[in-house]
Structure 1
Amino acid sequence: MSLHRAFTPGSATGRNVRAELLRICGGPVRKFLPLISHQGGRSALTCQFRCGNACAHGVANTSGNEYFGDIAAKALSRRGMLRAGALGAVVVGVGAAGAVPALADPGAEPEVAANGFGWGRGDLRFTPVAPNTADALTVPQGYSSSVVVRWGDPVLPDAPAFDFDNQSAAAQAKQFGYNCDYVTLFPMGHHRALLWVNHEYTDENLMFRGYTNGAAATEEQIRIALAAHGGSVVEIERRGNTGDWKLVTRGRRRYNRRITAQTPMRFSGPAAGSALLKTAADPEGRTPLGMLNNCAGGTTPWGTVLTAEENFNQYFVNGPRTPENARYSIPTGVSGRRFDRVEERFDLAKHPNEVNRFGWIVEIDPFDPQSTPIKRTALGRFAHEAATTSVGRDGRLVVYMGDDSRFEYVYKFVSKERYIPGFDRHNRTLLDEGTLYVARFTGDSPGEIDGSGKLPADGAFDGTGEWIPLVSGSESFVDGMSAEQVLVFTRLAADKVGATKMDRPEDVERNPVTGAVYVALTNNGNRTAAQVDEANPRPSNKHGHVLELVEQRDGRFTWSLPLVCGDPNDATTYFAGFDKTKVSPISCPDNLAFDRDGNLWISTDGNQLGSNDGLFVMPVRGPERGYLRQFLTVPFAAETCGPLVTDDQRSVFVAVQHPGESDGATPDNPTSHWPDGGASQPRPAVAVVWHSRGKKIGA
C-alpha cells in the first residue's frame, strides 16, 4: 500500500517502546480478451469472487445528496477567496467544526519532512515499461525481481508443503493465504523483517478442479476458502546487501502467524457491546469471529497493522430487507460461496446481526502471535479500503479512509488524546476515542464543468472542502441517529449530513515530505453527464483519477486533481500540466504509496486500455510534477496491489493478486502459469523488485 514507517520489537514480547525504532533502516504475449460488460476492465470471474458482482447491481447510495456541482452552481465563485487564503462555506446542518468544543481539530496537520524523509531531490531516471499482456512480471531494464512468498507456502513451522490437488483446511490455515493485497514491512535490523500481507478473497474456480458454485462445493472446499482469507505475518530476510528478499524457511520463526475468517477477535471503542453487534454466539457483542475481504490497510506509530474489511457483504445469505442492509448491499437471497453451509452465522435469516460484525478496521500486533486482533469501532463501518495514519502537529493521531464503492465517501478520524512517543499502553487506546468525519468537496468554477474534460478558466480542477463531524465518542452529530448507529451504519450517517459522492474512493495516503493527502478514485461508469462536478469531472468515468488534498487548520481543506487517468492522447486526461507526449498511459488507480523523496507510486486495478495492470510513479512537486511513468506490469489478468517502497529505497514490494483470473479460466484450462512457469497453476504472490546494480529505485 503506502510507504509506512518501520518498527522492530523493543523487547522479547514486542510490546515495549517501538517509537525508537523509527530510526532503524534506516513470458509469452497473450491476445487481448474480448470486451465484457464489467466496469474497470475486470473479468466476470473477478467481479464474481472479489465483490459479488457489485457493478451488476444497483448503486447502494440512493441518498438525495446533491452532487457538489449542483451546490457550486448555486454559489458565488470562490476563486478570489482562495487566492486570498480564505476558506469555503461552513458546515450545513451540524454547525462549523470549529464551533463544537468537544471535537478535536479535524484539520490537524502532520509534521512535514520529518524522520529523515525528503532528503533527496526525487529525481527518477529509468526507461518506462511498455504496456503489454505478457504472463510475466515485467520490470525496467537494469532491474531484477523475485517472488518472496506465494499462495500455499508454509507460514507456520509445521505447515505441510503445498499440494494443489490435495488441499485441506487444516493445511491452508498454516499456509500463506490466497489473494494478496495490502503489504507492509516491519524491519528487524538490516537483514531481517516481518512482512504483513492481506488475503482479500478467494477464487474457488481457480483453486479447485471442477468447481461450479458454492451450493455444489464440498464442505472441505468451503472450509479451505474460509482459511485462505485473512492475513499472514511471515519473517523474511535480505539476500546479502541487495534489494532482494526471501522467505525465512528455517528455525523457529516465532512471529509467523495466520489470521483467518475463523480467528477469535474483539471489539473496542464506542460500539463495542452494542445491541447491534450481539448474536446468539456472542450475547455480549464483544467477541467477533474472523475477518473477511481485507483489502488495503495501514500501520500505527506504535508498530501494529491496520487492515481494512471491504466487500464483506457478499459472504452472507438471506439478509432481512431493511434500509440498513440495502445501504450495504447485503444479499436477500442465497448465492455465492455459501459459507452458511458450514457456519450457520453466515445465514442472516437466523443471525441477522452477524453481518454488522464485519466492515471494520482491524488492528493486529505482528510482534505478538498470541495477541487478539481488535476491530476498532470508532473508525466506522463501511467498505473500508485503507487506514492511513499520521500524527498531527498538535500530537493527535489522524486516520484517513476511503469507502470503495460507486458514489461513496472519504472519511477521517482524529483521536481525542495525543500520541506520546514511547508510551505504548496509552497509545494503544487512541483509536478508541475521537471524532469521525466525512468530506464534503466544493469546486471553484461553477458552470464550467461540462464533462468534456476541458479545464476550467483558472487552469485546474480544484476547490475547497470541509470535514463534517459524524460522531465523537458517545455523542452523535447526526439527527435521528445514536452514536452506535452512526458507527455501525456509517454510510447512512454520511448520507444525512450531505457528504460528497465520489468515484470509488479507494486508497488515501499522506505524502511524508509535503504533508498533502492523496485519494485514488478508481472509476465510476455510473456517473452521468448531469452528475459531473469539479472533483469528479467526467461522466462514465472508466479510467479514474487522483485527488490531492491540503489540510487547513480549522477543519477545512483545499483540493485539486493532479492526475486524470486514461490514454494521454485522450483530451479528457490531465497529468498536472506536464507534456502528455512523454507520459505513460494509466487506467484505474487503486493503491497509492510514497517513497521518502515524496514521489507518488500508483498501482492499478482493472486497466481499461487493453494491457496488464501495473505500477506507476509520478513526481508531485518540481519541474517534473505530472511526469508519470510505468515502472512494472503484473502478469496476465492479475491486479497490482501493495505497493511498498522501503525506507532505503532499494526495494519495491508488490502483491500480484489473482494472476490468470480471466473469463473461462479453470485449473484444467489456466490462462496464467505465473509465478512458477511451465504447466503450473497460477498462484497469487508477493514479489520484490530491485536495481540490479544496487542503486536506489528510480535512479
Structure 2
Amino acid sequence: MTLIDLPLLMKDSVRGKRSAVTCALKCANQCASGPCNHSDNSRFRDIASAALTRRRMLGGTSGAVAIALAGTLGACSNPSGGGSGASDGGSGSGAGGGAAPNGSALGFEAIAPVDLETDEFTVPEGFAWHPIIRWGDPLFEDAPDFDWNAQSAEAQERQFGYNNDYTEIQEIPDSDGKRAVMFVNHEYTNENIMLPPETDEAAAMEIGMAAHGLTVVELQRESAEEPYTYVRDGELNRRILLDTEFALTGPAAGSELTRTAADPEGRTVLGTLGNCAGGLTPWGTLLSGEENFHGYFRAAGTSEADKRYGLADEATARNWEAAHERFDARGEDHRNEPNRFGWIVEVDPFDPESTPRKHTALGRFKHEGANVILAEDGRAVAYSGDDEVFDYLYKFVSRDTYVEGDTEHNKTLLEDGDLFVAKFTGNSPAAEIDGSGAVPADGAFDGTGEWLPLVLDGASQVEGFTLEEVLVHTRLAADLVGPTKMDRCEDVEPSLATGRVYVACTNNDGRGTEGEAPVDEMNPRAENRDGHVVEIDEQGDQTSTTFAWNLLLVCGDPAQGDQTYFSGFAPEEVSPISCPDNLAFDSVGNLWISTDGAPDGIGYNDGLFRVTLEGDARGRVEQFLAVPREAETCGPIVRDEDRSAFVSVQHPGEDGEWGAHTSHFPDYDGTGPRPTVVQVLPA
C-alpha cells in the first residue's frame, strides 16, 4: 500500500510542466484546480462596489547593499561521492566560446543538454561535484545515523530535513574562510519514496511533519580549493520544526484575522510550511518564503478569501487534519490558522536561541521568496513574487532606514513600511503580440511600469479594506487596484552591480486560453511552456513608483523550432533553457538561473545556467550543470572567485515508488534518492 493516496496522479489530470507527483505533493494540484485569480482587473475599478462586497469577500471577518549578494556568499559540500570531468576546465565558456564574461574567474565549456533518463549529476569538463549534506544526515551528536528501514519522527527532528530548496551560506567571522553557517529550506515531503510501504500511517505522518521546516548547520573546509563538509553537533546547528514558536510582527500581528483558540492573542505561530526560496538581508539574517501552504489545510472553502488562496473543503494528501486539529480550519477554533501562513519568515542563523519571525508588513500570498536591497536613502526594499499562474509581483519599502552596525535595529526594518504591486505596460501595438513569442517590430519586448500602492504610511490604500485585511488577504486587495497578471513570478533578485531587478516567470500553460488572461508584451507567449525572465530598471532609485522594463529571455530550445528571444544574441549559440525558477549573481554581476520543469518543457533534465548581461554577448545562456532525473535545481550559490557553485537538488526520483526507485542519487548504492546540497569545484 502507498503511504499517501494521490488520486490525481493521472497525467491528463495535471496542468503545467511538472511531474504529476510533484503537483500533488508540492502545490496540492493547484494547476489541476485551475487558477485562483478569477479577477478581471479591467473591471475592478468600481471601488464603491468593492467596499459593499468586502465582508462577503473576506468570509465575514471583521476587522544598499543589494542582497543580490545572496547569490555570491554561498558555499557547501561533503567529500563522499561525486563525479568529475576529464580536463582542467580552462578559461573558455561554452555555447559561444571566449573568456568567461565580465572578468569572471569561473570559465567552463557549457555542457550539452542531459537526457531525461540520465540519473547523474552532470558537470563541465574539469569539474567535480561533492555532496555536502543529504536528507537524514544527523545534525547533532545524539541523532542516529540515517537508516532507510529504521526511521522515526524523533530521529528526523535531529536530522537534515527533506527536499532542500533555498540555500544560503555565510562565512563565520574570524575563521579565515574555513568555517561557515548554512541555512536551508525544506519545502515538502514525498513519503511514498521516503518510507517503506509497511510504515504505520501515524508514524509516517509524524516523520513527514518532522522533515519539513528549516535547517541551520555549520560547515568547515581546509581551504577554498577543498569542498565544505558539514559539522555534526556544530554550535549553530538548529532544526526549526512545526512546533517551533514564530513571532508575528507588523500591523496584522494580533489582529482578529490572526487569532485562534490556541493563540487568542494572534501573535505566536507554531512552525512554517511550504518554504521555497529566500534571501539574505544586509544585516545577516535569512528570509524564507512560505509558498504552497494551502495544501496542508482543510478549510470551509466557501469565502472568496479561501478560494483566492486555494483553500478547499477536501481531504489533504497527507491528511494531517485528521490527527492535528489545527490543520482543520472548518470550525471556528482554527478558522484563522491558514492566515498564519503565507508570510516572509526571518531567521538569525547566528543565534540558535532566537525566535524566528513572520513579517505581516510584506503581505500574505504564496511567496516564492524575498530579496532585499538598500535604497540610496537607506530604506530596505524587498521584492517578492507570488508563485501562481496569473498572480502578481510585489515590492515592500521599509519605513525606517538601515543603520550600519546596529543589527538589532536593522532586524526591525521589515516590520513596517509601504507595500506595492506591479503594473506593466508594453510599448508595442497589440497586433504585434500574437501569442507566438515573436519579437515586436521594435526589436524588443519592453515598456514602462508602475508600482501601485496597497499600503502607504501605515494606512490601507484599497478602499473597503482595513490595513490588516490588505496584509492578510493581499491577493484580494491587489485584485482591486489592477496589477498585471504574470506567468508565475518566482524568484525576484536585485543586482548588486547595477540595481536592476530580475524576475523569473517560470511558465503558464493557461496564458491566452479560453477564459484566461490574454497574451501581452510582458507575457507574450500563449500556453507559455518554457517561461521568460523580466529585467526591471528603476533608474537608480529602488523606492521609485515607476520603472522601465524589458524581457531578458524568452526561453525554449531554438533547435526544436521554439520561438525564443535572448536579447538579440544568436539563438544557435545558446544552451537551451526552460522554466527559470531561482536566480543568483556571481561576484562580477553575471546572472545565474536554476530551472524547474525543463523535463516537461524542452525535454531535458533541469540545470544551472549562466547568462551574460552586458556587452555584445548580452543574452548568451551557458549551461553549467544538470541535476539527476526528475529533480529540480534549487538554491543556486555562485562563488566564481573560487571557481565553485552550489545547488540544492530537490525531489530526485520523484516519480518512483518504494522498491522501484527511479533515482539513486547521490549515493548510487542501490537505495533510493536523497535530496542533497551539492558543491561543484574544479577537479
Shorter-chain TM-score tier:
0.7 to 0.9
Find out whether 1:232 has 2:215 as its counterpart. yes
- CA-to-partner distance for each residue in 1:316-337, whole Å, 9 max, x for gaps? 1143411100000002122310
- Residues 120 and 528 (structure 1), Cα distance of their counterparts in 2 relative to 1, 3 Å cut: closer
From 485, 498, 504, give the equivalent of 2:482: 498
The answer as to whether partners of 2:105 and 2:643 remain within 8 angstroms in 1 is: no
The aligned residue for residue 194 of structure 2 is: 207
| Identity among equivalent pairs (%) | 53
From 173, 180, 196, give the equivalent of 2:183: 196
The aligned residue for residue 494 of structure 2 is: 510
| Structure 1 gaps, min length 5 | 1-32, 72-90, 95-108, 693-699
- CA-to-partner distance for each residue in 1:426-471, whole Å, 9 max, x for gaps? 2111111110110000000122211122211211000000011101
The aligned residue for residue 422 of structure 1 is: 405
Distance (Å, rounded) in 2 between the aligned partners of 1:335 and 1:422 = 46
Structure 1 residue 562, shift from structure 2 partner: 1.2
Distance (Å, rounded) in 2 between the aligned partners of 1:246 and 1:192 = 10
- One-letter amino acid matched to 2:639: T
- CA-to-partner distance for each residue in 1:189-243, whole Å, 9 max, x for gaps? 31110011100000111112227xxxx9621211111111011011111243415
From 526, 541, 548, give the equivalent of 1:558: 548
SS in 2 for 1:531: coil
Structure 1 residue 472, shift from structure 2 partner: 3.4
SS in 2 for 1:566: coil
- One-letter amino acid matched to 2:328: D
TM-score, structure 2 as length reference:
0.87
The answer as to whether partners of 1:183 and 1:642 remain within 8 angstroms in 2 is: yes
Distance (Å, rounded) in 2 between the aligned partners of 1:159 and 1:469 = 49
Structure 1 residue 423, shift from structure 2 partner: 1.3
Find out whether 1:435 has 2:386 as its counterpart. no
- CA-to-partner distance for each residue in 1:542-594, whole Å, 9 max, x for gaps? 10000000014441000000100011233520111111111111110000000
The aligned residue for residue 303 of structure 1 is: 284
- CA-to-partner distance for each residue in 1:639-688, whole Å, 9 max, x for gaps? 000101137343211000011002xx112110000001021111001000
The aligned residue for residue 558 of structure 2 is: 568
Find out whether 1:536 has 2:523 as its counterpart. yes
Write out aligned runs for 1:392-403 (5 A): 392-403=375-386
Distance (Å, rounded) in 1 between the aligned partners of 2:105 and 2:148 = 45
The aligned residue for residue 637 of structure 2 is: 644
Find out whether 1:53 has 2:29 as its counterpart. yes
The answer as to whether partners of 2:66 and 2:495 remain within 8 angstroms in 1 is: no
- Residues 248 and 124 (structure 1), Cα distance of their counterparts in 2 relative to 1, 3 Å cut: closer
SS in 2 for 1:295: strand
The aligned residue for residue 258 of structure 1 is: 239
SS in 2 for 1:590: strand
Structure 1 residue 137, shift from structure 2 partner: 0.8
The answer as to whether partners of 1:137 and 1:632 remain within 8 angstroms in 2 is: yes
From 13, 16, 19, give the equivalent of 1:43: 19
The aligned residue for residue 674 of structure 1 is: 665
The answer as to whether partners of 2:433 and 2:520 remain within 8 angstroms in 1 is: yes
From 140, 154, 162, give the equivalent of 1:178: 162
The aligned residue for residue 623 of structure 2 is: 630
The aligned residue for residue 370 of structure 1 is: 353
The aligned residue for residue 146 of structure 1 is: 130
SS in 1 for 2:268: coil
Structure 1 residue 41, shift from structure 2 partner: 3.2
The aligned residue for residue 614 of structure 2 is: 621
- Residues 443 and 551 (structure 1), Cα distance of their counterparts in 2 relative to 1, 3 Å cut: same
- One-letter amino acid matched to 2:468: E
- Residues 411 and 669 (structure 1), Cα distance of their counterparts in 2 relative to 1, 3 Å cut: same
- CA-to-partner distance for each residue in 1:514-547, whole Å, 9 max, x for gaps? 1110000000001116700000000000100000
The answer as to whether partners of 2:102 and 2:590 remain within 8 angstroms in 1 is: no
The aligned residue for residue 82 of structure 2 is: none
- CA-to-partner distance for each residue in 1:71-111, whole Å, 9 max, x for gaps? 9xxxxxxxxxxxxxxxxxxx9989xxxxxxxxxxxxxx877
The aligned residue for residue 696 of structure 1 is: none
- Residues 298 and 647 (structure 1), Cα distance of their counterparts in 2 relative to 1, 3 Å cut: farther
Find out whether 1:578 has 2:554 as its counterpart. no
Structure 1 residue 66, shift from structure 2 partner: 3.9
From 73, 85, 107, give the equivalent of 1:125: 107
SS in 2 for 1:581: helix
Structure 1 residue 38, shift from structure 2 partner: 3.5
Find out whether 1:317 has 2:315 as its counterpart. no
SS in 2 for 1:262: coil
- One-letter amino acid matched to 2:394: Y
Write out aligned runs for 1:283-294 (5 A): 283-294=264-275
Distance (Å, rounded) in 1 between the aligned partners of 2:154 and 2:651 = 23
- CA-to-partner distance for each residue in 1:243-291, whole Å, 9 max, x for gaps? 5111123xx5110000112211110111000100000100000001000
From 349, 374, 391, give the equivalent of 2:374: 391
- Residues 119 and 612 (structure 1), Cα distance of their counterparts in 2 relative to 1, 3 Å cut: closer
SS in 2 for 1:288: strand
Distance (Å, rounded) in 1 between the aligned partners of 2:226 and 2:647 = 13
Distance (Å, rounded) in 2 between the aligned partners of 1:382 and 1:58 = 17
The answer as to whether partners of 1:318 and 1:334 remain within 8 angstroms in 2 is: no
Structure 1 residue 339, shift from structure 2 partner: 1.1
- Residues 513 and 358 (structure 1), Cα distance of their counterparts in 2 relative to 1, 3 Å cut: same
Structure 1 residue 120, shift from structure 2 partner: 5.2
The answer as to whether partners of 1:209 and 1:666 remain within 8 angstroms in 2 is: no
Distance (Å, rounded) in 2 between the aligned partners of 1:145 and 1:432 = 40
- One-letter amino acid matched to 1:304: T
- One-letter amino acid matched to 2:520: D
Write out aligned runs for 1:93-104 (5 A): none
| Structure 2 gaps, min length 5 | 1-8, 49-63, 74-99
- One-letter amino acid matched to 1:173: E
- Residues 466 and 548 (structure 1), Cα distance of their counterparts in 2 relative to 1, 3 Å cut: same
Find out whether 1:406 has 2:389 as its counterpart. yes
Distance (Å, rounded) in 2 between the aligned partners of 1:281 and 1:146 = 45
Distance (Å, rounded) in 1 between the aligned partners of 2:321 and 2:106 = 51
The aligned residue for residue 335 of structure 2 is: 352
Distance (Å, rounded) in 1 between the aligned partners of 2:563 and 2:47 = 36
- Residues 674 and 114 (structure 1), Cα distance of their counterparts in 2 relative to 1, 3 Å cut: closer
- One-letter amino acid matched to 1:328: Y
Structure 1 residue 54, shift from structure 2 partner: 1.1
Distance (Å, rounded) in 1 between the aligned partners of 2:382 and 2:141 = 35
- Residues 139 and 503 (structure 1), Cα distance of their counterparts in 2 relative to 1, 3 Å cut: same
The aligned residue for residue 380 of structure 1 is: 363
> Could you tell which deviates more after superposition, 573-582 or 401-410?
573-582
TM-score, structure 1 as length reference:
0.85
The aligned residue for residue 28 of structure 1 is: none
- Residues 119 and 110 (structure 1), Cα distance of their counterparts in 2 relative to 1, 3 Å cut: farther
Find out whether 1:341 has 2:325 as its counterpart. no
The aligned residue for residue 456 of structure 1 is: 440
Structure 1 residue 399, shift from structure 2 partner: 0.3
Structure 1 residue 157, shift from structure 2 partner: 2.6
The answer as to whether partners of 1:113 and 1:512 remain within 8 angstroms in 2 is: yes
